[in-house]
Amino acid sequence: MSDSAACLANLQEAVNFGSLSQVDANAVQLFLNRKGRQMSPLLAYFDPSAGSLLLQALVGGFGGLVVVGRFLWMQFFGAK
Amino acid sequence: MEFDPGSFRDRSSRVLIREGRVFRAMDAESLASWRRASAQPFVQQMVSQGQIVGTGEVPAKECAALGLPSSAAGVLEHTRIPFISYPYEWSFAMLRDAALLHLRLLTESLRAGLILKDASPYNVQFSGKQPVFIDIGSFTGHSPGEPWLAYRQFCELMLFPLLLQAYRGVHFQPILRGELEGISARQFLQWLRWRDVFRPGVFTHGLLQAKLEQQTQALSTSTVRDLQFSGFKTSLIERLLRKLTRLVERLEWLPRRTQWTNYDNSLPHVAEDRQSKSTFVRNVCHFRPRDLVWDLGCNDGRYSIIARERATTVVAMDYDHACIDRLYRSADSPNVLPLCMNLANPSPAMGWRGRERKRIEDRGQPQLILCLGLIHHLVIAANIPLAEVVDWLASFRAEVILEFPSKKDPMVQALLRNKRDQYEDYSRESLEAELCRHFEIRLSESLPSGERTLYHTVPVRSSTGA
DSSP B451: S
Is B230 close to A70, i.e. CB distance below 8 A? Answer: yes
Residue B336, beta-bridge partner list: B314
- Cβ contacts (< 8 Å) between B156 and chain A: which residues? none
pLDDT of res. A44: 75
Is B9 close to A8, i.e. CB distance below 8 A? Answer: no
Angle between helices A50-58 and B234-250 (to 10 degrees): 90
List, for residues B46-86, the tens digit of each pLDDT value: 999 999 999 999 998 888 888 887 788 999 999 999 999 99
Read off the pTM: 0.89
Cα–Cα dist B39/B318, whole Å = 41
Mean pLDDT, rounded, for A11-22 = 63
Class for domain B263-459, per CATH?
alpha beta
- Cβ contacts (< 8 Å) between A40 and chain B: which residues? 225
Core vs surface per residue A28-57: b (16+ CB within 10 A) or e:
bbbebbeeeeebebeebebebbbbbbbbbb
Across the interface, of B141, B143, B235, the residue whose CB is closest to A29 is: B143
Q: How many Cβ contacts (< 8 angstroms) between chains A and B?
A: 167
pLDDT at B228 over 80: yes
- Cβ contacts (< 8 Å) between B240 and chain A: which residues? 56, 59-60
A30 compared with B448, residue with greater pLDDT = B448
Mean pLDDT, rounded, for B96-113 = 97
Domain boundaries, chain A: 1-43, 45-80
pLDDT of res. A2: 47
CA angle B228, B233, B239 (to 5 degrees): 135
Mean pLDDT, rounded, for B111-121 = 95
Is A48 close to B151, i.e. CB distance below 8 A? Answer: yes
**Max Cα separation, chain B?**
77
Mutation target among B27, B189, B224, B229 for the A interface, most CBs of A within 10 A = B229
Task: Report the percent of chain B where pLDDT is more than 70.
Answer: 96
pLDDT at A24 over 70: no
Is A67 close to B233, i.e. CB distance below 8 A? Answer: yes
Mean pLDDT, rounded, for B437-453 = 95
Is A63 close to B233, i.e. CB distance below 8 A? Answer: yes
pLDDT of res. B5: 84
Q: How many CA atoms lie within 13 A of B208 on its CB side?
A: 16
Mean pLDDT, rounded, for B366-372 = 98
Instruction: Check the CA dihedral B1-B6-B12-B16 and report its sign.
Output: negative
B441: left (phi over 0), alpha (psi -120 to 50) or beta: beta
- Cβ contacts (< 8 Å) between A45 and chain B: which residues? 9-11, 117-118
pLDDT of res. A39: 40
Residue B207 burial class via C-beta count within 10 angstroms: exposed 0-12, middle 13-18, buried 19 and up:
middle
B457 compared with A45, residue with greater pLDDT = B457
pLDDT of res. B466: 43
Mean pLDDT, rounded, for B165-184 = 96
Distance of CA B11 to the CA centre of its chain: 25
H runs (alpha helix) in B230-343: 234-250, 268-285, 302-308, 321-329
Mean pLDDT, rounded, for A19-43 = 55
Interface contact A4, partner B, CB < 8 A: no
In contact, B158 and B183? CB cutoff 8 Å = no
A69 compared with B100, residue with greater pLDDT = B100
User: What torsion do the CA atoms of B194, B198, B202, B205 make, to the nearest 10 degrees?
Assistant: 120
User: What is the average pLDDT score of chain B?
Assistant: 92
Instruction: Check the CA dihedral B339-B341-B346-B347 and report its sign.
Output: negative
pLDDT at A6 over 90: no
Interface contact A41, partner B, CB < 8 A: yes
Interacting residues of B176 by C-beta distance below 8 A, sequence separation 6+: B87, B88, B157, B161, B182, B183
pLDDT of res. A80: 45
Domain boundaries, chain B: 1-80, 83-250, 263-459
- Cβ contacts (< 8 Å) between B233 and chain A: which residues? 22, 60, 63, 67
